Every structure is written in C-alpha cells, then in structure tokens.
Amino acid sequence: MNNKKLVMIPGPTPVTRSIQDQMGRETVSFKDQDFIGDFKGVVKDLKEMWRTAGECFVIAGTGTLAMEMAIANTTKRGDQVLVVSHGYFGDRYIDMCRRRELEVDVLSSEWGKIVPVENIEKALGEKDYRVVTITHVDTSTGTKAPLEEICKVAERFENTLLIVDGVCSTAGEREFVDDMNIDILLTGSQKAFGVSPGLALLWASEKALERRRSLGTRSGFHWRFQRSGEGSERNVENRGGVFCDCRNRNPGNGDGHRKYHEKRRSGSCCLPWILW
Ligand SMILES: Cc1ncc(COP(=O)(O)O)c(C=O)c1O
C-alpha cells in the first residue's frame, strides 16, 4: 500500500522524515530522566524562541484545548470579554466564552476583511474587559489581523489581557510574546510547526500568570467527566505534558502540590501553573 499522502492545507502539514522517525522510537516513561530532560529543554527553547519571561505549556491536546485553557485560566464567571472575530475560528471563542458564563461582546468583520483597529480601540475604551481575544490568521478566510497594531492598542488597557489564537500563524508569522505585549499566545503542533497533530502549545506572560494566581481555585480538571485512573493507587495523571505521579496533589490547589515538590526538592513533574 502506498502510504504517501501530500497534504496542501494550512494544517495538518506534512511532517519531515526525521520527525516521523523520532515518533517511531520506543515508548519511554514520563519519569525517565531522558524524557524529563527533553521535555524541560523543549519548554525552555519555546520560551526563548517566543521570547517570554512567563511560562510555556506543552500539553497533549488540540488547538481548541489551548483556546479553552487560555480563557479558563484568566477569567471567572460574569467577567466581560471582547471577542474580535474574522471568521469561523474567531467565532469559536464566542460559544466557548458563553458556555463559561462570561459576558461576551463581539466585533465581527465581513468574512475576508479585518475588524478596523479603531473599532477595537473604541470598544476597549467602553468597558472594563478582562480579556480580548483575537485570531491572528483566521484559517477559514485567510484573513490576517494587524497584530502589532492591535497589541499596541491593547497595551494601553492594563486590566485587559490580550489572548492571541496563533493556530494558523505561530511559527509562520511574527509573534513575540513579551516584546509585543501579547499576554497569551496559543497554537497547535500540526500547523506551521510542521509536527504531527496532538500537542497544544501556550505561552503565558507574567501578567497572565498573575491573573491566574489572583483567581484562586478554578473549576474543572483537564476536562474530565471522570479522571482516568481515579482510585488507582498511584493515580498517575497526564496533566497534558506536565506529567505527575505525585499522590500529594491537591486537585485544584497548585500550592499544595508545589509545596510538596519544594520540600522534596525533586520530582518528575511540575510546571508552576495549574491548568484550570
Ligand atoms: C485559527 C485556528 N484556531 C483554532 C483552531 C482549532 O484547532 P484544533 O483543530 O487543533 O482544535 C484552528 C484549526 O484549524 C484554527 O485554524
């Protein structure tokens, strides 16, 4: 059978042979020192490349999961959110935010056109938005938002975090988190990264991390109906790339977990931010 397929869409994109070969390696444990070293290296490199002193999260999932992570970690019920939509994926944030019981205002463009930056500036000045979302390139129409201009405008609104959906742009377009004052940038591995589908990537600025801390315990736990492995002795969890077999975890309370590892001064897991 001929397995060769040429995909010529924004994503998933073709994956080079060398990456395919790596994906065929033997499975390793998430506690394997080589894996831990590799994972930490990836996160460090991603933080450097997208220039943030904040944090980068690499989790098993889709771009949509990263979209939801961004919202879930920065808002609470009743918060005002401004969604700037240039098409299908921009609109996805409307539904997502309403489901989280946020107060959503929408600025939509005619498909194929952009929402003028002046309109975004005007809207931001009218309410105390906690978050504004923007899709850098909306795959449905190919519309590219003037991100640098939008970042400059958003920077003036201190209480408003700028969330940028980069699923169709990150690694293909200019996006530097701290330099451009992006608060959260998110993408999936299957597009301009040229890696196979399955990883969601999210960069959070210090300001976004501070917002997360200020919200305290959040509901939800890796979108479970039921956490897999619950009740099993070791309770091994895949926190989406942040792997942990720590029995001392207090779900929803990052502090308890963190303190445990500080005391232990080791651990095969832990990034300092909890997902939800
Ligand atoms: C701009 C944009 N945002 C979000 C998504 C959702 O990503 P996923 O399909 O990985 O959930 C896509 C998918 O094509 C996209 O193009």
Pocket mutation for ligand 1, best pick of 7, 58, 139 (most atoms within 8 Å of C-beta): 139
3 state DSSP class of 186: strand
Average pLDDT over residues 159-186: 97
Using CB distances shorter than 6 Å, the residues near ligand 1 are 62-64, 89, 135, 138-139, 165, 167-168, 188
Calculate the alpha carbon distances from 184 to 20, 53, 164 in Å.
29, 12, 6
Residue with CA nearest ligand 1 atom 9: 63
Domains of the chain, earliest start first:
46-214 (3.40.640.10), 216-222+235-276 (no CATH)
DSSP string, 88-155: HHHHHHHHHHHHTT-EEEEEE--TTSPPPHHHHHHHHHHS--SEEEEESEETTTTEE--HHHHHHHHH
Give distance in angstroms: CA of 207 to centre of ligand 1. 25
For position 93, what pLDDT does the model report?
Answer: 97
Average pLDDT over residues 137-156: 97
pLDDT digits (tens, 9 = 90+) for 105-140: 999 999 899 999 999 999 999 999 999 999 999 999
pLDDT digits (tens, 9 = 90+) for 9-63: 888 999 989 999 999 999 999 889 999 999 999 999 999 999 999 999 998 999 9
**What is the DSSP code (8-state) at residue 252?**
T
pLDDT at 240 over 50: no
**HSE-up of residue 178 (Cα within 13 Å, Cβ side):** 15
d(CA 94, CA 67): 11
CB 94 within 8 A of CB 85: yes
pTM of the model: 0.84
Ranked by mean pLDDT, which of 1-10, 127-136, 210-219 comes out on top?
A: 127-136
Characterize 49-82 residue by residue with b for buried, 16 or more Cβ atoms within 10 angstroms of its Cβ, and e for exposed. Answer: ebebebbbbbbebbbbbbbbbbbbbbbeeebbbb
Ligand 1 atom nearest 64 alpha carbon: 11
d(CA 171, CA 185): 11
